[in-house]
Structure 1
Amino acid sequence: MIDAVGNPQSLLVLGGTSDIALATAQKYADQRPLRIILADRPEEQERLDAAAERLRKTGSTVSILTFDARKPETHAEVIDKAFADGDVDVTLIAFGIQGDNEKGWTDVEAARAVADINYLAPVSLGVLLAEKLRKQGHGNVAVMSSPAGERARRSNFVYGSSKAGLDVFFSGLGYALEEHGVKVTVVRPNFTHTKLTEGMKAAPMANTPESVAEVIVNGVRKGSPLVYAPAQFRFVMSILRHVPRAIFRRLPI
Protein backbone atom coordinates (compact mmCIF):
# COMPACT_ATOMS: atom_id res chain seq x y z
CA MET A 1 0.00 0.00 0.00
CA ILE A 2 1.03 3.62 -0.51
CA ASP A 3 2.00 5.17 2.83
CA ALA A 4 0.54 8.27 4.49
CA VAL A 5 2.85 10.67 2.63
CA GLY A 6 2.28 9.10 -0.78
CA ASN A 7 5.28 6.79 -1.10
CA PRO A 8 4.66 3.32 -2.57
CA GLN A 9 6.05 0.17 -1.01
CA SER A 10 6.32 -1.63 -4.36
CA LEU A 11 7.08 -0.58 -7.93
CA LEU A 12 6.88 -2.55 -11.19
CA VAL A 13 8.73 -1.10 -14.16
CA LEU A 14 7.87 -2.52 -17.59
CA GLY A 15 10.74 -1.19 -19.64
CA GLY A 16 13.25 -1.48 -16.85
CA THR A 17 16.18 -0.01 -18.78
CA SER A 18 14.35 3.15 -19.84
CA ASP A 19 16.25 6.25 -18.71
CA ILE A 20 13.04 7.90 -17.51
CA ALA A 21 11.85 4.74 -15.76
CA LEU A 22 15.14 4.30 -13.90
CA ALA A 23 15.17 7.96 -12.87
CA THR A 24 11.64 7.45 -11.52
CA ALA A 25 12.62 4.29 -9.64
CA GLN A 26 15.62 6.13 -8.20
CA LYS A 27 13.43 8.99 -7.01
CA TYR A 28 11.03 6.62 -5.26
CA ALA A 29 13.91 4.67 -3.72
CA ASP A 30 15.57 7.85 -2.44
CA GLN A 31 12.36 8.70 -0.58
CA ARG A 32 12.12 5.28 1.11
CA PRO A 33 13.38 1.76 0.39
CA LEU A 34 10.81 -0.30 -1.49
CA ARG A 35 10.35 -3.50 -3.47
CA ILE A 36 11.22 -2.86 -7.13
CA ILE A 37 10.66 -5.20 -10.06
CA LEU A 38 12.52 -4.29 -13.26
CA ALA A 39 11.26 -6.04 -16.41
CA ASP A 40 12.73 -5.82 -19.89
CA ARG A 41 14.01 -7.90 -22.81
CA PRO A 42 16.59 -10.64 -22.20
CA GLU A 43 19.00 -8.68 -24.41
CA GLU A 44 19.02 -5.93 -21.78
CA GLN A 45 20.23 -8.22 -18.98
CA GLU A 46 23.54 -6.42 -18.48
CA ARG A 47 21.86 -3.02 -18.15
CA LEU A 48 19.16 -4.49 -15.90
CA ASP A 49 21.81 -5.97 -13.60
CA ALA A 50 23.61 -2.63 -13.39
CA ALA A 51 20.39 -0.73 -12.68
CA ALA A 52 19.36 -3.25 -10.01
CA GLU A 53 22.72 -2.99 -8.28
CA ARG A 54 22.49 0.79 -8.21
CA LEU A 55 18.96 0.75 -6.78
CA ARG A 56 19.87 -1.82 -4.11
CA LYS A 57 22.30 0.73 -2.64
CA THR A 58 19.22 2.65 -1.43
CA GLY A 59 18.21 -0.32 0.71
CA SER A 60 15.52 -1.36 -1.75
CA THR A 61 14.85 -4.97 -2.73
CA VAL A 62 15.23 -5.32 -6.50
CA SER A 63 14.29 -8.27 -8.70
CA ILE A 64 14.57 -8.71 -12.46
CA LEU A 65 12.09 -10.26 -14.87
CA THR A 66 12.27 -10.68 -18.64
CA PHE A 67 9.60 -10.24 -21.28
CA ASP A 68 9.45 -9.17 -24.91
CA ALA A 69 6.97 -6.51 -26.00
CA ARG A 70 6.62 -8.18 -29.42
CA LYS A 71 5.98 -11.63 -27.93
CA PRO A 72 2.50 -11.52 -26.33
CA GLU A 73 3.00 -15.03 -24.96
CA THR A 74 5.49 -13.56 -22.45
CA HIS A 75 3.11 -10.89 -21.14
CA ALA A 76 0.90 -12.93 -18.80
CA GLU A 77 3.91 -14.65 -17.27
CA VAL A 78 5.73 -11.41 -16.44
CA ILE A 79 2.62 -9.92 -14.82
CA ASP A 80 1.94 -13.09 -12.82
CA LYS A 81 5.54 -13.16 -11.56
CA ALA A 82 5.48 -9.46 -10.69
CA PHE A 83 2.45 -9.94 -8.42
CA ALA A 84 3.58 -13.29 -7.01
CA ASP A 85 5.26 -11.74 -3.96
CA GLY A 86 2.40 -9.38 -3.08
CA ASP A 87 0.54 -6.31 -4.22
CA VAL A 88 2.07 -3.80 -6.60
CA ASP A 89 1.41 -0.20 -5.63
CA VAL A 90 2.73 1.57 -8.74
CA THR A 91 3.33 0.20 -12.24
CA LEU A 92 5.25 2.26 -14.78
CA ILE A 93 4.88 1.30 -18.46
CA ALA A 94 7.92 2.89 -20.03
CA PHE A 95 9.08 0.93 -23.07
CA GLY A 96 8.80 2.11 -26.66
CA ILE A 97 10.63 2.92 -29.87
CA GLN A 98 10.83 6.09 -31.92
CA GLY A 99 11.30 4.41 -35.29
CA ASP A 100 12.21 6.03 -38.59
CA ASN A 101 9.14 7.94 -39.78
CA GLU A 102 10.03 7.81 -43.48
CA LYS A 103 10.66 4.08 -43.31
CA GLY A 104 7.58 3.67 -41.13
CA TRP A 105 5.11 4.79 -43.76
CA THR A 106 6.82 3.02 -46.65
CA ASP A 107 7.83 -0.30 -45.06
CA VAL A 108 5.27 -2.66 -43.54
CA GLU A 109 7.63 -4.30 -41.07
CA ALA A 110 8.90 -0.97 -39.79
CA ALA A 111 5.34 0.24 -39.31
CA ARG A 112 4.35 -2.97 -37.52
CA ALA A 113 7.31 -2.72 -35.15
CA VAL A 114 6.22 0.74 -33.99
CA ALA A 115 2.59 -0.34 -33.66
CA ASP A 116 3.41 -3.61 -31.89
CA ILE A 117 5.82 -2.13 -29.35
CA ASN A 118 4.21 1.26 -28.69
CA TYR A 119 0.54 0.29 -28.82
CA LEU A 120 -0.34 -3.42 -28.99
CA ALA A 121 2.06 -4.52 -26.25
CA PRO A 122 1.00 -1.82 -23.74
CA VAL A 123 -2.67 -2.67 -24.40
CA SER A 124 -1.97 -6.37 -23.83
CA LEU A 125 -0.12 -5.64 -20.59
CA GLY A 126 -2.73 -3.07 -19.57
CA VAL A 127 -5.52 -5.64 -19.76
CA LEU A 128 -3.49 -8.12 -17.69
CA LEU A 129 -2.60 -5.43 -15.16
CA ALA A 130 -6.21 -4.32 -14.86
CA GLU A 131 -7.24 -7.84 -13.81
CA LYS A 132 -4.63 -7.92 -11.03
CA LEU A 133 -5.36 -4.39 -9.84
CA ARG A 134 -9.12 -4.93 -9.71
CA LYS A 135 -8.54 -7.89 -7.42
CA GLN A 136 -6.14 -6.09 -5.09
CA GLY A 137 -8.42 -3.04 -4.94
CA HIS A 138 -5.77 -0.34 -5.12
CA GLY A 139 -2.79 0.76 -7.17
CA ASN A 140 -1.54 3.28 -9.69
CA VAL A 141 -0.46 2.89 -13.30
CA ALA A 142 1.67 5.50 -15.04
CA VAL A 143 2.16 5.11 -18.79
CA MET A 144 4.52 7.00 -21.05
CA SER A 145 2.62 8.66 -23.89
CA SER A 146 3.68 11.67 -25.97
CA PRO A 147 2.43 15.03 -27.25
CA ALA A 148 3.13 13.52 -30.70
CA GLY A 149 -0.12 11.59 -30.30
CA GLU A 150 -2.24 14.72 -29.99
CA ARG A 151 -2.06 15.82 -33.61
CA ALA A 152 -0.51 14.30 -36.73
CA ARG A 153 2.74 15.91 -37.82
CA ARG A 154 4.59 15.19 -41.03
CA SER A 155 7.81 14.54 -39.16
CA ASN A 156 6.63 11.77 -36.80
CA PHE A 157 3.08 10.67 -37.61
CA VAL A 158 3.87 6.93 -37.49
CA TYR A 159 5.22 7.20 -33.96
CA GLY A 160 2.48 9.70 -33.08
CA SER A 161 -0.28 7.36 -34.25
CA SER A 162 0.95 4.61 -31.91
CA LYS A 163 1.04 7.01 -28.98
CA ALA A 164 -2.43 8.34 -29.82
CA GLY A 165 -3.87 4.84 -29.54
CA LEU A 166 -1.99 4.14 -26.30
CA ASP A 167 -3.11 7.49 -24.86
CA VAL A 168 -6.81 6.85 -25.53
CA PHE A 169 -6.70 3.28 -24.23
CA PHE A 170 -5.09 4.16 -20.91
CA SER A 171 -7.18 7.28 -20.44
CA GLY A 172 -10.25 5.07 -20.81
CA LEU A 173 -8.73 2.38 -18.59
CA GLY A 174 -8.49 5.02 -15.90
CA TYR A 175 -12.26 5.57 -16.11
CA ALA A 176 -12.90 1.82 -15.96
CA LEU A 177 -10.62 1.19 -12.97
CA GLU A 178 -11.61 4.20 -10.89
CA GLU A 179 -14.46 2.36 -9.16
CA HIS A 180 -11.98 -0.34 -8.13
CA GLY A 181 -9.70 2.10 -6.31
CA VAL A 182 -7.09 2.22 -9.09
CA LYS A 183 -5.69 5.38 -10.69
CA VAL A 184 -4.12 5.70 -14.14
CA THR A 185 -1.79 8.58 -15.05
CA VAL A 186 -0.97 9.28 -18.70
CA VAL A 187 2.39 11.06 -19.03
CA ARG A 188 3.10 13.29 -22.02
CA PRO A 189 6.71 14.47 -21.88
CA ASN A 190 8.15 16.90 -24.37
CA PHE A 191 11.52 16.02 -25.94
CA THR A 192 13.68 14.31 -23.32
CA HIS A 193 17.41 13.65 -23.46
CA THR A 194 17.53 9.83 -23.35
CA LYS A 195 19.03 6.98 -25.35
CA LEU A 196 15.78 6.95 -27.37
CA THR A 197 16.43 10.49 -28.64
CA GLU A 198 20.21 10.26 -28.88
CA GLY A 199 21.44 12.04 -31.99
CA MET A 200 18.21 13.98 -32.48
CA LYS A 201 18.07 17.77 -32.34
CA ALA A 202 16.67 18.87 -29.00
CA ALA A 203 13.39 20.79 -29.02
CA PRO A 204 12.72 23.89 -26.93
CA MET A 205 11.65 23.14 -23.34
CA ALA A 206 13.52 19.81 -23.41
CA ASN A 207 13.49 17.55 -20.36
CA THR A 208 16.00 15.42 -18.53
CA PRO A 209 14.98 11.96 -17.27
CA GLU A 210 15.12 13.34 -13.73
CA SER A 211 12.74 16.22 -14.51
CA VAL A 212 10.22 13.81 -16.06
CA ALA A 213 10.59 11.50 -13.06
CA GLU A 214 9.63 14.41 -10.80
CA VAL A 215 6.47 14.96 -12.84
CA ILE A 216 5.59 11.24 -12.77
CA VAL A 217 6.04 10.89 -9.01
CA ASN A 218 4.00 14.03 -8.29
CA GLY A 219 1.30 13.03 -10.79
CA VAL A 220 0.92 9.57 -9.28
CA ARG A 221 0.86 10.97 -5.75
CA LYS A 222 -1.99 13.32 -6.70
CA GLY A 223 -3.82 10.70 -8.76
CA SER A 224 -3.69 12.98 -11.81
CA PRO A 225 -5.19 11.40 -14.95
CA LEU A 226 -2.87 13.39 -17.25
CA VAL A 227 0.42 15.19 -16.76
CA TYR A 228 2.80 17.03 -19.08
CA ALA A 229 6.54 17.43 -18.67
CA PRO A 230 7.30 20.23 -18.32
CA ALA A 231 3.92 21.27 -16.92
CA GLN A 232 3.71 24.42 -19.05
CA PHE A 233 3.86 22.31 -22.21
CA ARG A 234 0.15 21.67 -21.67
CA PHE A 235 -0.49 25.24 -22.82
CA VAL A 236 1.77 24.89 -25.85
CA MET A 237 -0.19 21.85 -27.02
CA SER A 238 -3.49 23.56 -26.32
CA ILE A 239 -2.50 26.29 -28.76
CA LEU A 240 -1.14 23.87 -31.38
CA ARG A 241 -4.35 21.80 -31.33
CA HIS A 242 -6.28 24.87 -32.51
CA VAL A 243 -3.91 26.10 -35.21
CA PRO A 244 -5.68 25.82 -38.61
CA ARG A 245 -4.52 22.80 -40.63
CA ALA A 246 -3.24 24.92 -43.53
CA ILE A 247 -0.87 26.66 -41.16
CA PHE A 248 -0.08 23.72 -38.89
CA ARG A 249 1.14 21.50 -41.74
CA ARG A 250 3.76 24.12 -42.62
CA LEU A 251 5.18 24.49 -39.12
CA PRO A 252 8.73 23.11 -38.69
CA ILE A 253 7.71 20.54 -36.04
Structure 2
Amino acid sequence: MKDAFGTPQSLLVLGGTSEIAQATAHRLVTRRTRDIWLAGRPSPTLERSAQALRDRGADTRTVPFDALDPESHETALGKVFAEGDVDMVLMAFGTLGDQARDEADPVAATRVAQTNYTGAVSAGLVCARALQAQGHGSLVVLSSVAAERARRSNFIYGSSKAGLDAFAQGLGDALHGTGVHVMVVRPGFVRSRMTAGLEEAPLATTPQAVAVAIEAGLRRRAETVWVPGRLRLVMSALRHVPRPLFRRLPV
Protein backbone atom coordinates (compact mmCIF):
# COMPACT_ATOMS: atom_id res chain seq x y z
CA MET A 1 0.00 0.00 0.00
CA LYS A 2 1.07 3.62 -0.46
CA ASP A 3 2.40 5.31 2.65
CA ALA A 4 0.78 8.27 4.39
CA PHE A 5 2.42 10.64 1.90
CA GLY A 6 1.12 8.79 -1.16
CA THR A 7 4.45 7.20 -2.04
CA PRO A 8 4.16 3.67 -3.47
CA GLN A 9 5.92 1.03 -1.41
CA SER A 10 6.05 -1.40 -4.35
CA LEU A 11 6.79 -0.62 -7.99
CA LEU A 12 6.65 -2.61 -11.23
CA VAL A 13 8.51 -1.03 -14.15
CA LEU A 14 7.79 -2.20 -17.69
CA GLY A 15 10.88 -1.12 -19.58
CA GLY A 16 13.42 -1.48 -16.82
CA THR A 17 16.33 -0.03 -18.81
CA SER A 18 14.52 3.21 -19.66
CA GLU A 19 16.42 6.22 -18.32
CA ILE A 20 13.16 7.87 -17.26
CA ALA A 21 12.13 4.68 -15.47
CA GLN A 22 15.49 4.45 -13.73
CA ALA A 23 15.36 8.09 -12.62
CA THR A 24 11.82 7.59 -11.33
CA ALA A 25 12.66 4.40 -9.46
CA HIS A 26 15.71 5.98 -7.83
CA ARG A 27 13.66 9.00 -6.76
CA LEU A 28 10.93 6.82 -5.29
CA VAL A 29 13.47 4.71 -3.42
CA THR A 30 14.57 7.86 -1.58
CA ARG A 31 10.89 8.25 -0.63
CA ARG A 32 10.62 4.75 0.92
CA THR A 33 9.69 2.59 -2.08
CA ARG A 34 11.28 -0.74 -1.20
CA ASP A 35 9.98 -3.55 -3.44
CA ILE A 36 10.77 -3.11 -7.15
CA TRP A 37 10.40 -5.33 -10.19
CA LEU A 38 12.21 -4.29 -13.37
CA ALA A 39 10.63 -5.95 -16.40
CA GLY A 40 12.47 -6.06 -19.69
CA ARG A 41 14.46 -8.18 -22.07
CA PRO A 42 17.20 -9.98 -20.11
CA SER A 43 20.45 -8.09 -20.58
CA PRO A 44 23.50 -6.85 -18.66
CA THR A 45 21.94 -3.36 -18.74
CA LEU A 46 18.80 -4.59 -17.00
CA GLU A 47 20.88 -6.33 -14.35
CA ARG A 48 23.00 -3.22 -13.78
CA SER A 49 19.83 -1.16 -13.37
CA ALA A 50 18.56 -3.63 -10.78
CA GLN A 51 21.86 -3.69 -8.91
CA ALA A 52 21.96 0.10 -8.72
CA LEU A 53 18.59 0.03 -6.93
CA ARG A 54 19.71 -2.78 -4.65
CA ASP A 55 22.71 -0.66 -3.70
CA ARG A 56 20.23 1.98 -2.53
CA GLY A 57 18.47 -0.53 -0.31
CA ALA A 58 15.57 -1.61 -2.52
CA ASP A 59 14.60 -5.26 -2.85
CA THR A 60 14.84 -5.38 -6.64
CA ARG A 61 14.12 -8.29 -8.96
CA THR A 62 14.17 -8.57 -12.74
CA VAL A 63 11.33 -10.01 -14.81
CA PRO A 64 11.64 -11.19 -18.44
CA PHE A 65 9.31 -9.04 -20.55
CA ASP A 66 9.07 -8.39 -24.29
CA ALA A 67 6.61 -5.83 -25.61
CA LEU A 68 6.62 -7.63 -28.96
CA ASP A 69 5.41 -10.90 -27.40
CA PRO A 70 1.92 -10.08 -26.05
CA GLU A 71 1.04 -13.75 -25.63
CA SER A 72 3.60 -13.93 -22.81
CA HIS A 73 2.41 -10.84 -20.93
CA GLU A 74 -0.27 -12.41 -18.79
CA THR A 75 2.04 -15.14 -17.54
CA ALA A 76 5.11 -12.95 -17.03
CA LEU A 77 3.32 -10.09 -15.30
CA GLY A 78 0.92 -12.36 -13.45
CA LYS A 79 3.87 -13.84 -11.56
CA VAL A 80 4.69 -10.40 -10.19
CA PHE A 81 1.17 -9.72 -8.94
CA ALA A 82 1.00 -13.24 -7.50
CA GLU A 83 3.80 -12.28 -5.09
CA GLY A 84 1.74 -9.49 -3.52
CA ASP A 85 0.08 -6.15 -4.18
CA VAL A 86 1.77 -3.68 -6.51
CA ASP A 87 1.20 -0.03 -5.64
CA MET A 88 2.42 1.42 -8.93
CA VAL A 89 3.05 0.21 -12.45
CA LEU A 90 5.20 2.41 -14.68
CA MET A 91 4.88 1.67 -18.39
CA ALA A 92 8.11 3.11 -19.74
CA PHE A 93 9.02 0.95 -22.72
CA GLY A 94 9.03 2.28 -26.25
CA THR A 95 11.12 2.99 -29.31
CA LEU A 96 11.68 6.18 -31.28
CA GLY A 97 12.53 4.44 -34.52
CA ASP A 98 14.12 6.21 -37.46
CA GLN A 99 11.55 8.16 -39.48
CA ALA A 100 13.45 8.23 -42.78
CA ARG A 101 14.32 4.54 -42.62
CA ASP A 102 10.92 3.46 -41.36
CA GLU A 103 9.06 5.28 -44.13
CA ALA A 104 11.00 3.17 -46.61
CA ASP A 105 10.66 -0.04 -44.59
CA PRO A 106 7.06 -0.88 -43.60
CA VAL A 107 8.23 -3.81 -41.48
CA ALA A 108 10.42 -1.49 -39.38
CA ALA A 109 7.57 1.02 -39.13
CA THR A 110 5.22 -1.72 -37.96
CA ARG A 111 7.71 -2.73 -35.28
CA VAL A 112 7.59 0.81 -33.88
CA ALA A 113 3.78 0.67 -33.78
CA GLN A 114 3.75 -2.79 -32.22
CA THR A 115 6.20 -1.79 -29.49
CA ASN A 116 4.69 1.57 -28.62
CA TYR A 117 1.02 0.76 -29.05
CA THR A 118 -0.07 -2.87 -29.33
CA GLY A 119 2.50 -4.07 -26.80
CA ALA A 120 1.34 -1.36 -24.42
CA VAL A 121 -2.33 -2.24 -24.93
CA SER A 122 -1.64 -5.86 -24.02
CA ALA A 123 0.55 -5.11 -21.00
CA GLY A 124 -1.68 -2.25 -19.89
CA LEU A 125 -4.79 -4.40 -19.82
CA VAL A 126 -3.04 -7.19 -17.92
CA CYS A 127 -1.78 -4.74 -15.28
CA ALA A 128 -5.07 -2.84 -15.09
CA ARG A 129 -7.00 -6.03 -14.41
CA ALA A 130 -4.55 -7.01 -11.67
CA LEU A 131 -4.66 -3.56 -10.06
CA GLN A 132 -8.45 -3.60 -10.16
CA ALA A 133 -8.52 -7.04 -8.54
CA GLN A 134 -6.39 -5.80 -5.63
CA GLY A 135 -8.56 -2.65 -5.40
CA HIS A 136 -5.86 0.00 -5.50
CA GLY A 137 -2.77 1.20 -7.32
CA SER A 138 -1.54 3.62 -9.96
CA LEU A 139 -0.81 2.89 -13.61
CA VAL A 140 1.57 5.53 -14.99
CA VAL A 141 1.87 5.59 -18.78
CA LEU A 142 4.73 7.39 -20.55
CA SER A 143 3.22 9.04 -23.59
CA SER A 144 4.75 12.02 -25.44
CA VAL A 145 3.93 15.49 -26.70
CA ALA A 146 4.29 13.85 -30.11
CA ALA A 147 0.92 12.24 -29.43
CA GLU A 148 -0.86 15.59 -29.62
CA ARG A 149 -0.55 16.09 -33.38
CA ALA A 150 1.23 14.03 -36.01
CA ARG A 151 4.16 15.95 -37.48
CA ARG A 152 5.91 15.31 -40.76
CA SER A 153 9.24 14.76 -39.03
CA ASN A 154 8.08 11.86 -36.83
CA PHE A 155 4.53 10.85 -37.73
CA ILE A 156 5.20 7.12 -37.35
CA TYR A 157 6.39 7.51 -33.76
CA GLY A 158 3.83 10.23 -33.10
CA SER A 159 0.91 8.17 -34.36
CA SER A 160 1.93 5.22 -32.19
CA LYS A 161 2.09 7.48 -29.13
CA ALA A 162 -1.25 9.04 -30.09
CA GLY A 163 -2.79 5.59 -30.02
CA LEU A 164 -1.16 4.84 -26.67
CA ASP A 165 -2.30 8.16 -25.23
CA ALA A 166 -5.92 7.64 -26.30
CA PHE A 167 -5.86 4.07 -24.95
CA ALA A 168 -4.52 5.21 -21.58
CA GLN A 169 -7.09 7.99 -21.26
CA GLY A 170 -9.92 5.61 -22.11
CA LEU A 171 -8.57 3.04 -19.69
CA GLY A 172 -8.50 5.69 -16.99
CA ASP A 173 -12.15 6.49 -17.64
CA ALA A 174 -13.06 2.79 -17.57
CA LEU A 175 -11.30 2.34 -14.21
CA HIS A 176 -12.71 5.47 -12.60
CA GLY A 177 -14.22 4.61 -9.23
CA THR A 178 -12.43 1.26 -8.91
CA GLY A 179 -9.57 2.54 -6.77
CA VAL A 180 -7.13 2.39 -9.71
CA HIS A 181 -5.52 5.66 -10.78
CA VAL A 182 -4.27 6.05 -14.38
CA MET A 183 -1.86 8.90 -15.10
CA VAL A 184 -0.64 9.84 -18.59
CA VAL A 185 2.76 11.56 -18.74
CA ARG A 186 3.61 13.67 -21.80
CA PRO A 187 7.27 14.70 -21.83
CA GLY A 188 8.75 16.83 -24.56
CA PHE A 189 12.22 16.18 -25.95
CA VAL A 190 14.13 14.23 -23.29
CA ARG A 191 17.91 14.27 -23.28
CA SER A 192 18.68 10.55 -23.17
CA ARG A 193 20.33 7.67 -25.01
CA MET A 194 17.25 7.41 -27.24
CA THR A 195 17.61 10.98 -28.50
CA ALA A 196 21.42 11.08 -28.64
CA GLY A 197 22.56 12.71 -31.87
CA LEU A 198 19.20 14.35 -32.60
CA GLU A 199 18.72 18.10 -32.80
CA GLU A 200 17.39 19.26 -29.46
CA ALA A 201 13.86 20.66 -29.49
CA PRO A 202 12.79 23.75 -27.52
CA LEU A 203 11.81 23.16 -23.88
CA ALA A 204 13.95 20.02 -23.74
CA THR A 205 13.98 18.18 -20.43
CA THR A 206 15.82 15.40 -18.59
CA PRO A 207 14.89 11.98 -17.17
CA GLN A 208 15.35 13.41 -13.68
CA ALA A 209 12.89 16.25 -14.37
CA VAL A 210 10.33 13.76 -15.67
CA ALA A 211 10.81 11.70 -12.50
CA VAL A 212 10.12 14.77 -10.35
CA ALA A 213 6.94 15.48 -12.34
CA ILE A 214 5.78 11.87 -12.01
CA GLU A 215 6.22 11.95 -8.24
CA ALA A 216 4.35 15.26 -7.99
CA GLY A 217 1.57 13.92 -10.21
CA LEU A 218 1.17 10.84 -8.03
CA ARG A 219 0.82 12.96 -4.91
CA ARG A 220 -2.04 15.00 -6.38
CA ARG A 221 -3.50 12.05 -8.29
CA ALA A 222 -3.21 13.89 -11.58
CA GLU A 223 -4.60 12.31 -14.71
CA THR A 224 -2.28 14.11 -17.15
CA VAL A 225 1.22 15.46 -16.56
CA TRP A 226 3.19 17.63 -19.03
CA VAL A 227 6.96 17.91 -18.74
CA PRO A 228 7.80 20.74 -18.67
CA GLY A 229 4.40 22.16 -17.74
CA ARG A 230 4.64 24.99 -20.31
CA LEU A 231 4.22 22.42 -23.08
CA ARG A 232 0.52 22.19 -22.25
CA LEU A 233 -0.02 25.70 -23.68
CA VAL A 234 2.41 25.23 -26.57
CA MET A 235 0.78 22.02 -27.74
CA SER A 236 -2.72 23.40 -27.26
CA ALA A 237 -1.84 26.20 -29.67
CA LEU A 238 -0.10 23.87 -32.11
CA ARG A 239 -3.04 21.50 -32.12
CA HIS A 240 -5.32 24.27 -33.41
CA VAL A 241 -3.07 25.62 -36.16
CA PRO A 242 -4.94 25.30 -39.51
CA ARG A 243 -3.56 22.41 -41.52
CA PRO A 244 -2.37 24.45 -44.54
CA LEU A 245 -0.30 26.62 -42.17
CA PHE A 246 0.79 23.63 -40.08
CA ARG A 247 2.30 22.02 -43.19
CA ARG A 248 4.56 25.06 -43.61
CA LEU A 249 5.94 24.92 -40.07
CA PRO A 250 9.45 23.44 -39.57
CA VAL A 251 8.14 20.54 -37.49
TM range (shorter): over 0.9
Counterparts of 1:196 and 1:98 in 2: how far apart (Å)?
7
TM-score by length of 1: 0.97
Query: AA paired with 1:77?
Result: T
Give the aligned partner of residue 86 of structure 2. Answer: 88
Report how many aligned residue pairs link the two structures.
Answer: 251
DSSP 3-state at the match of 2:199: coil
Counterparts of 2:100 and 2:33 in 1: how far apart (Å)?
44
Give the aligned partner of residue 212 of structure 1. Answer: 210
Query: AA paired with 1:23?
Result: A
Counterpart pick for 1:181 among 150, 156, 179: 179
Counterparts of 2:28 and 2:37 in 1: how far apart (Å)?
13
Query: AA paired with 1:129?
Result: C
DSSP 3-state at the match of 2:77: helix
Per-residue displacement from partner, 1:172-225 (whole Å, max 9, x unpaired)?
Answer: 100111221001001100000111111111111111100011111111221111
Give the aligned partner of residue 118 of structure 1. Answer: 116
Give the aligned partner of residue 171 of structure 1. Answer: 169
Give the aligned partner of residue 132 of structure 2. Answer: 134
Query: AA paired with 1:115?
Result: A
- How far residue 99 of structure 1 moved from its aligned partner, in angstroms, is 0.8
Query: AA paired with 2:168?
Result: F
- How far residue 103 of structure 1 moved from its aligned partner, in angstroms, is 2.7
Runs (4 or more) in structure 1 with deviation over 2 Å come to 102-106
Matches within 5 A, 1:1-253: 1-42=1-42, 45-253=43-251
Counterparts of 1:23 and 1:187 in 2: how far apart (Å)?
14
- How far residue 73 of structure 1 moved from its aligned partner, in angstroms, is 2.2
- In percent, how many aligned pairs have the same letter? 52
DSSP 3-state at the match of 1:104: helix
DSSP 3-state at the match of 2:61: strand
- How far residue 145 of structure 1 moved from its aligned partner, in angstroms, is 0.5
- How far residue 33 of structure 1 moved from its aligned partner, in angstroms, is 4.2
Query: AA paired with 1:145?
Result: S
Query: AA paired with 2:201?
Result: A
Query: AA paired with 1:208?
Result: T
Kindly report the root-mean-square deviation, in angstroms, between the aligned alpha carbons of the 2 structures.
1.0
DSSP 3-state at the match of 1:114: helix
Counterparts of 1:213 and 1:33 in 2: how far apart (Å)?
14
Counterparts of 2:128 and 2:91 in 1: how far apart (Å)?
13
Unaligned runs of 5+ in 1: none
Counterparts of 1:125 and 1:132 in 2: how far apart (Å)?
11
